[in-house]
Amino acid sequence: MKKELLIGTALVSTLGAASVAEAVTATMSGNHQTGLEFDSPTGGSDTRAQINDNNFTVSLSETTDGGMTISSSFMLLNEAGGGSSDEDAGFSLAFTDGSKLDVLNAGNASGSHDISVPGSAGAEGVTVTTGNTAPTGLDFMTGSTVFGVEYHSAADFLADGLKMSFSASTDNGAASGATYGMDNHFAFGGTYVTDLGDSAVTVGFGYSDSDGAKTGTQMTADEGGVHVGVSAVTGDLTVAVGFADGDSIESTGTATNDVQTDGEVVKAGIKYVSGDLTFNVGVASGTAQDSATAGTAGTTEDSKDVVSASVSYAVASGVTAILGYTDVDSSDEGENDTTDGSAWYIGANMAF
């Protein structure tokens, strides 16, 4: 009940804080990326396909007489799988002290602070067995519902160079069905920035905890966990590493086959900028043990080892040519995956 009252109060404050205005300020941004992908699966025939990634975002904002900025946005996108839209954004309130409050579909404060680890900038992907639940991202266990809020502190929170975020969400009140439904979450995360000699060092960390149910049954291991990462920028060189460990609920492709997963992942990457050229190299190694959502923890291991690289060339302002490569070696329940392999991508991105 406390979470529902918090969300309701924040939303009412959002809508009632601004003075009456003629119209808000609207800006537009987006990108058009298209290219060719060449797949070479371990146990199948080579394939090729055109990959499109088109996004169009409208951002809305206005500032009250008291100096608080209220903003929101919506996005239209048209990717390889077909057209769709993302119109469930809430409101953001930016206060004069530098802090910010996100209301509705706010997200998870732990995931807001995961370190960006360089990897291929291309749009290539390698398909693995559907049942393989090994993670490759640092935010794999940071679920939340749209009925939530997230508070972002101003800079230098408690210490110079530290920013923190805190989030909470609750469920929609509906009875749990055949697939896992998240009831609520609490999370916090932080980013600490400092100088170490000639390098700018950023440390990101987070913790998330949530619970949910499936057909009225609580999980024996809900989503939640920790992550930490470090990024160092020295001139044109960026080096980053990250680690995450936690539990998540993953879909294996059918409505009744969600599984609970105990996983961890290690990532590392390098980015180097030389004039109009950008070179990226990244590796990720994830493992997981999965089981039925209300069953005994799994004992056999899924794994994914990913190596990726790319070269990007700035052809003109906002136009980038990309050559990318990714190789995936994976196993499902301790057995080699015949659908892993490698993929190339060549294309271009136009951003505005």
- The count of C-alpha atoms lying within 13 angstroms of the C-alpha of 35, restricted to the half-sphere facing its C-beta, is 22
Sign of the alpha-carbon torsion through 75, 78, 79, 82: positive
Among residues 326, 238, 317, 230, the alpha carbon closest in space to that of 278 is found at 238
Phi and psi at 296, nearest 5°, equal: -70, 145
Out of 3.20.20.70, 2.40.160.10, 3.20.20.30, 2.40.50.140, the CATH code matching 2-351 is 2.40.160.10
> For residues 122 and 315, what is the distance between their CA atoms, to the nearest angstrom?
16
- Are 186 and 210 a contacting pair, CB within 8 Å? yes
User: Strands 237-250 and 259-274, how do they pair?
Assistant: antiparallel
Task: Let me know the angle formed at the C-alpha of 120 by 57 and 192, rounded to the nearest 5 degrees.
Answer: 75
Which DSSP symbol is given to 138?
T
Query: pTM for this structure?
Result: 0.83
pLDDT tens per residue across all 352 residues of the chain = 444 444 444 444 544 444 444 689 999 999 999 999 999 998 888 999 999 888 889 999 999 999 999 999 888 765 554 555 555 678 899 999 999 999 988 889 999 999 999 999 999 988 888 778 889 999 999 988 889 999 999 999 999 999 999 999 998 777 777 777 778 899 999 999 999 999 999 999 999 999 887 776 666 677 899 999 999 999 999 999 999 999 888 776 555 567 778 899 999 999 999 999 999 999 999 999 887 665 556 678 889 999 999 999 999 999 999 999 999 999 988 788 888 899 999 999 999 9
Which DSSP symbol is given to 97?
T
**Is residue 59 classed as helix, strand or coil in its secondary structure?**
strand
> For residues 246 and 288, what is the distance between their CA atoms, to the nearest angstrom?
10
